[in-house]
Structure 1
Amino acid sequence: MHVIGAGFGRTGTMSLKVALERLGLGPCYHMREAIRAPGHKALWLDAAQGAPVEWDRVFDGYASTVDWPACHFWRELTAVYPEARVVLTVRDPEPWYRSTRETIYVLSTWVARVAAPFFPTARGMAAMTRAVIWDGTFGGRFEDRDHALAVFRDHVEEVRAAVPHDRLLVYDVKEGWEPLCRFLGVPVPDEPFPHVNDRDHQKGKIRRARVLVGALGAASALAALTGAALWRRTRA
């Protein structure tokens, strides 16, 4: 483990993931990996509930990590991997809250309410994100704007206070390659810094997911009605 991302989601963590991988510090673990990797949702759910974690097992094959769920455990990770550098991604708190509420919070709550009945993966995702993020990080009060902003600001200050200055980069991805590469001691690539997964992109994903699950729900309802009609015919 070379780099630990301590910043909350929606602070440019996906752009940082891509950047680290282009710098040769990947694969980089991200919420996407937590959702896709077999058994990982359960591992993070257990961790959020206080179970001991074999971190080398979680990060087997990865050279860096950013975003939730790992950033919730930044204290544990900085202790387990004392040689790893820490990158704390930051942004202005007000736009961060709006972006988070309009994207991953909407998606997470919608998955729990609508998609989970159809997909076991969605049920695992909903349980994990609730335990790690909405309850674990925000104490079940993310919709309380002032509380969520206070949690965000407190998190930044706690990381600043706990991680030695020479091990920590407080970083806005808008700053581009130079401060990141200088901190990591690697050359600056001859290409634009990646900027991915913005709010409009996230909203598009949410719309597509709603259409897909809506179609599946309609198909399920139609199948149920058809099955019921056939059952009545057989009983007639």
Structure 2
Amino acid sequence: MSLKVIGSGFGRTGTLSLKAALEILGFGPCYHMQEVIKRPSHIKKWQQIGRNQAVPWHTIFHHFQATVDYPASPFYRELLHAYPDAKVIHTVRDPERWYDSTAETIFRSMDGLPFWAYKLPWPLGNFIDLQEKIVWQGLFNGRFPDRAYAIQRFHDYTEAVKQHIPPEKLLIFEVKEGWEPLCEFLDVPVPGVPFPHVNDRENIIRQFTLLRRTLYLLPFAVAAALGLLFLLGKQIARFFTKS
């Protein structure tokens, strides 16, 4: 299986809706950050890519016909070189709304994590690390909290995509446009079902709020467990001493 569609757009530009749409159109399975979470072996591969180490693309995408979202989207040029017959879809939305959505979801989930979260055993610590390397440092140079900078980066990145991808291979797409431009670009008929609009914002906030709370409570849980073990050890030692 070979990639036929490469999504170059930033996360929070409708990438999950595009994933669902592509799979309805027969371009599935479609890769997405969700797929990385399901495949711990891919996390280390993306860490290597984030360190500019060579990883054969087919070891990641051999079961997929399309890819959208992070962590693959920043590597659209490399992917098009590896899959020259593929087409590129660049998802966009209002930059101000994109920033707000990103700040309240995926950035909020990573911002302010305890320093030791990056050292957690594989795969959780590695997943946090790959996001930091590829997205927050790789795309935004550690300056995402600077709203003006991040929005300008959004504009500049879109212009770079337009410059690097031949016009006949590129679709600039907002998911609110629906099926017609997408199907025309991919040369497939419009399906007889509504275009999927997947809003995962609340789910992301809920999941990462749970993660953050768990990480902050983890040291206390470990300390409590060690305390119980210490007390249990003292009781056992006292029992054998009396015996």
Do they superpose with TM above 0.5?
Answer: yes
Over 3 Å counting, the alpha-carbon distance change for 1:197 and 1:121 in structure 2 is farther
- In structure 1, C-alpha distance between the alignment counterparts of 2:43 and 2:142, rounded to whole Å: 19
Superposed displacement of residue 138, structure 1: 0.7
- In structure 2, C-alpha distance between the alignment counterparts of 1:122 and 1:20, rounded to whole Å: 29
Aligned equivalent of 2:87, options 77, 85, 88? 85
The farther-off stretch of 130-139 and 31-40 is: 31-40
- In structure 1, C-alpha distance between the alignment counterparts of 2:132 and 2:120, rounded to whole Å: 18
Superposed displacement of residue 39, structure 1: 1.8
Q: Deviations over 1:130-171 (max 9, x none)?
A: 110011111111111111111111010110111111111100
- In structure 2, C-alpha distance between the alignment counterparts of 1:112 and 1:193, rounded to whole Å: 40
Q: Which residue of 2 aligns with 1:193?
A: 195
AA aligned opposite 2:128: A
- In structure 2, C-alpha distance between the alignment counterparts of 1:57 and 1:166, rounded to whole Å: 28
Check conservation: 2:28, 2:65, Cα contact below 8 A. Answer: yes
Check conservation: 1:112, 1:123, Cα contact below 8 A. Answer: no
AA aligned opposite 1:229: L
RMSD, matched Cα:
2.1
Q: Which residue of 1 aligns with 2:56?
A: 54
Superposed displacement of residue 55, structure 1: 0.7
Aligned equivalent of 1:30, options 29, 32, 45? 32
Q: Which residue of 1 aligns with 2:138?
A: 136
Check conservation: 1:111, 1:126, Cα contact below 8 A. Answer: no
Q: Deviations over 1:63-104 (max 9, x none)?
A: 000001101111111111111010000001111111111100
Q: Which residue of 1 aligns with 2:157?
A: 155
Q: Which runs of 5+ in 2 are unaligned?
A: 239-243
Superposed displacement of residue 24, structure 1: 0.8
TM-score by length of 2: 0.88
* Aligned residue-pair number: 236
* Aligned: 1:169 with 2:164: no
TM alignment of 1:67-78, pairs within 5 A? 67-78=69-80
Check conservation: 2:113, 2:212, Cα contact below 8 A. Answer: no
Superposed displacement of residue 53, structure 1: 2.1
Bigger radius of gyration among the two: 2
- In structure 1, C-alpha distance between the alignment counterparts of 2:142 and 2:7, rounded to whole Å: 23
- In structure 2, C-alpha distance between the alignment counterparts of 1:121 and 1:110, rounded to whole Å: 19
Check conservation: 1:112, 1:126, Cα contact below 8 A. Answer: no
